[in-house]
């Protein structure tokens, strides 16, 4: 297996991992109300140490569940926003098919993803306090940008190496130096 082929294969494996994470993240936004109810039930279970050892987490999950229950009961159209959030994740995942097919040509998608990951941090730091989100939860939100950028950095570095290999393959060999005739 050539180095170029091996590198392309590794790039594609990382991209599949990233795409799957985006799709799963998107799909989990659709049943948000149900998921939060399940999380609260799980955390309140008798075997769970969370209420005793992490009361702030338990209070936050209960507060979120109560808010979602109120929205679902009184203003269900508000949940349409999380449907669009889910859809956005799915659409962004589709965009990464471009680098899967042709990594060098579509490196801009990787760089776009890196910018989006970086943008999570100021968004969380600005909007978290405005929306009365606990700081520790804001840190969890920011971690999506930090952990999301890691595979993209790896892929970008590999694409740059692949680009270099392709450049070497396309560079014509220098012409042979003429041999001087000896008299």
41-99 per-position pLDDT tens digit: 999 998 999 999 999 999 999 999 999 999 999 999 999 999 999 999 999 999 999 99
Give me the helix-helix angle, 135-170 and 3-27, nearest 10°.
150
Indicate the DSSP class of residue 29.
T
- Looking at every residue in the chain, the average pLDDT score rounds to 93
Tokens 């840190």 locate to 139
**What sign results for the dihedral spanned by CA atoms 12, 14, 20, 22?**
negative
For residue 140, pLDDT beyond 90: yes
Instruction: Report the pLDDT value the prediction gives residue 166, as an integer from 0 to 100.
Output: 83
pTM: 0.84
Residue 173 confidence class, pLDDT cut points 50, 70, 90: low
């Amino acid at each position: 297996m050539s180095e170029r082929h091996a590198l392309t294969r590794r790039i594609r494996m990382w991209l599949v991992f990233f795409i799957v994470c985006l799709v799963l993240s998107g799909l989990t936004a659709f049943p948000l109300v149900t998921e939060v109810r399940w999380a609260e039930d799980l955390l309140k279970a008798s075997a769970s140490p969370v209420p005793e050892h992490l009361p702030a987490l338990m209070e936050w999950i209960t507060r979120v569940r109560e808010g979602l229950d109120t929205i679902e009961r009184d203003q269900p159209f508000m949940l349409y926003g999380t449907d669009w959030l889910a859809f956005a994740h799915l659409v962004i995942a589709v965009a990464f098919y471009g680098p899967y097919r042709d990594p060098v040509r579509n490196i801009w998608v990787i760089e776009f993803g890196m910018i989006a990951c970086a943008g999570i941090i100021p968004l969380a730091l600005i909007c978290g306090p405005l929306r009365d989100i606990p700081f520790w939860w804001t840190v969890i939100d920011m971690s999506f940008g930090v952990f999301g950028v890691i595979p993209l950095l790896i892929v970008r570095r590999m694409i740059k190496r692949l680009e270099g290999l392709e450049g070497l393959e396309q560079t014509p060999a220098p012409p042979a130096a003429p041999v001087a005739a000896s008299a």
